[in-house]
Structure 1
Amino acid sequence: MGRRRALCRALASLIAAAMVSGCGSPVAFYRPGEGGADEPVVGLGGASPYVRSTPARPKAADPPGAVPVAPAGGRVYAATGPGMIAPKARDMPARLYVASGHGIEVIDPRTMRPVGRFGAGAVASRVVPSWDMRKLWVADTVHDVLVPVGARSGGHGRPVRVADPAGLYFTPDGRTALVAAGRPRRIEVRDPWTMRPRAAVPLPCAAQDGDFTLGGGYLVMSCTSAGALVRLDVAGRRVAGTVRLPAGARPGDLRLSPDGGTFFVADAARGGVWAVDARTFAPQGFLPTAPGARGLAISRDARRLFVSGGGTLAAVDFRARRVTARWPLPGGGNAVPGGVSSDGRALWLADPDGLVYAVSTRTGRVLRHARVKGRPAGLCVHPQPGRFALGGTGLYR
């Protein structure tokens, strides 16, 4: 018995000496309250080592499902690559929503067959997904309403009265909806879930198409008839600047470059795109693409900008700032883009003559097409890759 006690005391002394001499666990342990949330702690009788004793409570002002605004790695489209559908939208069926003037035609993009129709009686001009992508907003500029539609059910809610909803946008943090109104010329600040009005910002011109700066603090919009761009300070609810393009310009759709440094603005009158510095708000130059350039879309790898209009689809290399391909479009019409497919292989477009089709983003060849009734004025491909939707025509981050 004495020998056993002596051995125990010797073993304890050895362990203590090893601890003092620097021998330790290969895994770093921390005292309770120190280290990271998923790191082990030392403390007998303390809280469980892999669980916070007092979990952080979300801010009351945060909208459901809010995510960080800053893009991963500083790249604007880091979360919109092939197949990067947000978890909340992965179980939604892929659909094409065509605003045909008298309602919304719903088409299965795989079979090109109609699978539904809603909004009968509404003169739909465009379909915009909500920030969380769970519902769609149908803009009716004739009856001055926005109609909410369930992305899964197809059932529509009560129309919301909005004066001439020419464009609908959502701030990257999901807390604010911005409605571009043509009559009167202003931006209406609204609740993103109920569309209840909060404030209104007068504009110097009638704006419609737009995109956000890298951090989301500003919304840059084009005023086609005035040949100008306007920059809205979202938090300050004021116009922070305007820039008038050279005489004869008619700016339309615009997109932020992948590095966040430049806005590319389509110009149907001059047949190309303007490059505008996102920081100084000064024009950097003009790149001819094809007559009638009006619609823009970005490839899934964020290397190319697609410019449609005037019966032509042009592909522009962002880094080289040059046209790498020009492809003729069916019928030579003014097709409007609705978005790039999730796998990045096809660009969907709608022609006012009633044709909806997909072209290869590699060759420009028509892959699939379908005829619809009415005169399509807008197309929405849903869902698309991204953490959230910014509204407009296929804006995702």
Structure 2
Amino acid sequence: MTKNRFLTGAVVVALLGAIGLTPAEAQTDSAPPATVAPATASPVGTVQTIPGMPPVVNPANIYSEARAGNLNPEVAKDPARIYVPNLRSNDVYVIDPATMTVVDHFPVGKSPQHVVPSWDLRTLWATNNAEGTTDGSLTPIDARTGKPGPAVAVDDPYNMYFTPDGKSAIVVAEARRRLDFRDPHTMQMQGSVEAPQCRGINHAGFSIDGRYAIFTCEFGGMLAKVDTVNRQLLGYLKLSKGGMPQDILTAPNGKTFYVADMHADGVFVVDGDTFKETGFIPTGVGTHGLYPSRDAKVMYVANRGSHKVHGPRHSKDGSVSVIDFATNQVVKTWPVPGGGSPDMGNVSQDGKLLWLSGRFDDVVYAIDTTSGTMQIIPVGAEPHGLAVWPQPGRYSVGHTGIMR
């Protein structure tokens, strides 16, 4: 998407505002197509990225540099560990994937939600949002030693992302309906974007060129599109059904976005440039987390097994769906044996295991990506956005390690 088209989108938002409509309201009556269009590949060519952003090597696959085995030599020296933030026990458990056992744990701030790899891959940040209080903080974890450092006071850090040029951390202040752009190292404030209609703003996906990001509004049933260069809200898109969007993942083509919706029990498909809903893929009960495979051919979808925010334990409907990017069809479904609550996580660096927290069962699942068989590891109270480390790729755009 060129800069001129991007500014035109902002003008459209202003014109709608002048007549009393948001982009979401303007599109509410538009029904999505009955069929789902697959995420077709971008034409091969040079992508005009924002200044400072590493070049897009393969426009048909923005995850090409996060393929199995493509570890930065420095990152390869970091110990292989799974870092699990536990929301209610206010700590991080550390799992050694070689032995499938907990080998360390340490306290962090109140209500740690995610462990987020930094853009430069050297720090893992535990986002402690303190559940709407003023005691929020970020705990840095040294990726080389696996040990925490002194916490940095930050207002309401539910989640965190990094602009693809590495110049800013974006702290997602969920309770404040605000995005705080901060220095990626010191966390000093650079500026903010208010999103007053985006109740429960929390997860994001970035466009292929880094010029915009789309955030989910968990309690508003909509999406918010943000200009990451000029730090402006471009508008909202109300989803056609469901009403509780969770994770969002950019397709390999960098233009299609997939949105997990916990009430719709499936994944919405959205065209990022036009900011329109184009389809829907049913998956399972309580659709929640989205992760690409190492070869970027499929997407793993965590279905938490419930429409409730706080439970229940051992849900019989907990499962993982596998969606083929080329066809937008579910090709496999793996139920959690005995029931469970798969939530957030990531794929191992070799692509052989999908690691997910069992949010309401106080466990972590290690899922074989070929067979779907699972190993279950007990951890702390209410594990959430775990990080798998190290990861292949040149840089991280945040969350639990979305690599490019």
- TM-score norm. by structure 2 comes to 0.79
Name which of structure 1's ranges 199-208 and 330-339 shifts more when overlaid on structure 2.
330-339
SS of match in other structure, 2:344: strand
Q: Secondary structure at the match of 1:152?
A: coil
1:93 to 79, 87, 107: 79
Query: Do structure 1's residue 229 and structure 2's residue 223 form an aligned pair?
Result: yes
Determine if contact 2:108/2:139 at 8 Å carries over to the other structure.
Answer: no
Please state if 1:295 is matched with 2:302. Answer: no
Residue deviations 1:86-118 (CA, integer Å, cap 9, x gap): 223111111000112321111101101222222
SS of residue paired to 1:128: strand
Contact 1:163 1:183 (C-alpha < 8 Å) held by counterparts:
no
Q: Which secondary structure does the structure 1 equivalent of 2:367 belong to? A: strand
Identify the match of residue 172 of structure 2 among 180, 184, 202.
180
1:122-161 residue pairs with structure 2 within 5 A? 122-142=110-130, 143-161=135-153
Contact between 2:195 and 2:233, CA under 8 Å: does it hold in 1? Answer: yes
Equivalent residue letter for 1:320: T
Q: State yes or no: 1:249 paired with 2:248.
A: no
TM-fit CA distance, 1:261: 2.5
Partner of 1:117: 105
Distance in structure 2 (CA, Å) of the matches to 1:328 and 1:112: 21
Distance in 2 of aligned mates of 1:333 and 1:274:
24
8 Å CA contact 1:86, 1:388 repeated in 2:
no
Distance 1:141 1:96 in 2: 21
Indicate how the Cα distance of structure 1 residues 73 and 212 shifts in structure 2: closer, same or farther if over 3 A, else same: closer
Maintained 8 Å contact 2:242/2:262:
no
Give 1:258's aligned residue. Answer: 252
**Conserved? CA contact 2:109–2:137, under 8 Å:** no
- Deviation, 1:122, is 4.1
Equivalent pair of 1:144/1:161 in contact (CA under 8 Å): yes
Q: Indicate the structure (1 or 2) with the bigger Cα radius of gyration.
A: 1
Label 1:374 to 1:67 Cα distance change in 2 as closer, same or farther (>3 A): same
Q: CA deviation at 1:246?
A: 1.5
CA separation of 1:67 and 1:85: change in aligned 2, threshold 3 A: farther
Return the letter of the residue paired with 1:167.
N
AA partner of residue 390 (structure 1) = V
Unaligned runs of 5+ in 2: 1-50, 306-317
The one-letter code matched in structure 1 to 2:297 is R
Equivalent position amino acid for 1:196 in 2: Q
Give the superposition deviation at 1:67.
Answer: 6.3
Matched, 1:391 2:398: yes
Q: Work out whether residues 137 and 152 of structure 2, in 8 Å CA contact, stay in contact via their aligned partners in 1.
A: yes
Which residues of structure 1 form unaligned runs of 5+?
1-61
- Runs of 4+ aligned structure 1 residues displaced above 4 Å come to none
Change in 2 beyond 3 A, CA 1:128/1:121? closer
Equivalent residue for 2:334?
327
Match of residue 365, structure 1, among 355, 358, 373: 373
Q: Which residue does the alignment assign to 2:155? A: 163
Q: SS of the residue aligned with 1:260?
A: coil
Aligned with 1:103 (options 91, 96, 103): 91
Deviation, structure 1 residue 208: 0.3
Structure 2 residue 215 is matched with structure 1 residue 217:
no
Q: Which of these residues, 309, 316, 320, is aligned with residue 323 of structure 2?
A: 316
TM-aligned CA distance change 1:110 to 1:270, over 3 Å: same
Query: Corresponding residue for 1:38?
Result: none
The letter for the 2-side match of 1:197 is M
- Is the 2:356–2:386 contact (alpha carbons within 8 Å) kept by the matching residues of 1? yes
Q: Does 1:193 align with 2:185?
A: yes
2: distance between equivalents of 1:218 and 1:126?
22
Aligned to 2:298: 304
Distance in 2, Cα, partners of 1:239 & 1:331: 44
Deviations 1:314-373 (A, max 9, x none): 11111111111111013422212311111111111110212112111122111x332113
Instruction: Report the more deviating stretch, 266-275 or 322-331.
Output: 322-331
Can you list the C-alpha shifts for 1:52-79, whole angstroms capped at 9, x where unaligned? Answer: xxxxxxxxxx9xxx76242435521110
CA distance in 1, matches of 2:157, 2:107: 16
Of the three residues 372, 377, 384, the one matched with 1:377 is 384
Alpha-carbon RMSD: 1.7
For residues 5-50 of structure 1, give each alpha carbon's deviation from its aligned partner in whole angstroms, at most 9, with x where no partner exists.
xxxxxxxxxxxxxxxxxxxxxxxxxxxxxxxxxxxxxxxxxxxxxx
Cα deviations by residue, 1:284-329 (Å, 9 ceiling, x for unpaired): 0111011111111111110101111121111111111111111101
Contact 1:304 1:318 in 2 (8 A): yes
The residue type equivalent to 2:340 in the other structure is: G
Instruction: Please give the alpha-carbon distance, in whole angstroms, between the structure 2 residues aligned to 1:301 and 1:340.
Output: 11
Q: Write the distance in 1 (CA, Å) between the matches of 2:367 and 2:235.
A: 38
- Could you tell me which amino acid in structure 2 is paired with residue 99 of structure 1? P
Give the deviation of 1:141 after TM superposition.
1.2
Three-state SS of the structure 1 residue aligned to 2:65 is coil
Per the alignment, do residues 331 and 380 of structure 1 end up closer, same or farther by CA in structure 2, a change over 3 Å counting?
farther
* Paired residues of 1:71 and 1:77 also in contact (CA < 8 A): no
